[in-house]
A and B are shown apart, each in its own frame.
Chain A
Amino acid sequence: DAGVIQSPRHEVTEMGQEVTLRCKPISGHDYLFWYRQTMMRGLELLIYFNNNVPIDDSGMPEDRFSAKMPNASFSTLKIQPSEPRDSAVYFCASSLQGPGTEAFFGQGTRLTVV
């Protein structure tokens, strides 16, 4: 398996624009996580899905953020409108059996909002 695949790897956008990050989890993994990493706050869980259903979105910073998982092999994280403070590395991860088991991370998307 190729691992967790994220796209794009880098995204530079202007403030106010919509940004969509994409993730393909490892086949057979029932859990998918979206994280955001910054120097100040470290790695923060934004939302996670189990069998395509959102379980906990309490980490989503505000209504500008939304995430979907239309099927077992694809998820998106959307920011609309984007702001400079959203600049961070966004990681998608998947695991076989839930938050208490090993999470396999994608390579991340480095987002810069100018």
Chain B
Amino acid sequence: QKEVEQNSGPLSVPEGAIASLNCTYSDRVSQSFFWYRQYSGKSPELIMSIYSNGDKEDGRFTAQLNKASQYVSLLIRDSQPSDSATYLCAVLFSGGYQKVTFGTGTKLQVIP
């Protein structure tokens, strides 16, 4: 069973702080990793993708990947109340048909 694990939270951070969201996955051969944001009652939307070890930055968002530790994280700098949402980690598993498996998500609350 290929799995993606996330802490469900909620993770509460004050406005302006760095929010750190973490995700672990079970399959060493996974190559593609995604972070989706889902506002309450809305659909998921992609905010970051990462394919190689290291950091990838996009504005206030940084995705970090460590394949040896099977760990991917998302950092949100200068957190804003509008960042309050559930963040879903997703991993593309190979072997047979390719399939993206989602974690259950971490709820982030940014306190003004």
Contact = CB atoms under 8 A, between A and B. Distances in A.
Interface of A: 41-45, 55-56, 58, 91, 98-100, 102-103, 105-108
B21 to A, nearest CB: 15
Closest 9 CB pairs of A and B: A42-B104, A105-B43, A56-B97, A43-B102, A99-B98, A102-B46, A100-B32, A100-B92, A99-B100
Contacts of A105: 43-45
23 contacts: A41-B104, A42-B88, A42-B103, A42-B104, A42-B105, A43-B104, A44-B102, A45-B100, A91-B44, A98-B98, A99-B92, A99-B98, A100-B32, A100-B92, A102-B46, A102-B49, A103-B46, A105-B44, A105-B45, A106-B43, A107-B42, A107-B43, A108-B43
Contacts of A100: 31-32, 92, 98, 100
B26 interface: no
Contacts of B42: 107
B102 A99 contact: no
Interface in B87-108: 88, 92, 96-105
Nearest to B44: A105
Interface in B23-64: 31-32, 34, 42-46, 49
Contact of B99 (A42, A56, A102): A56
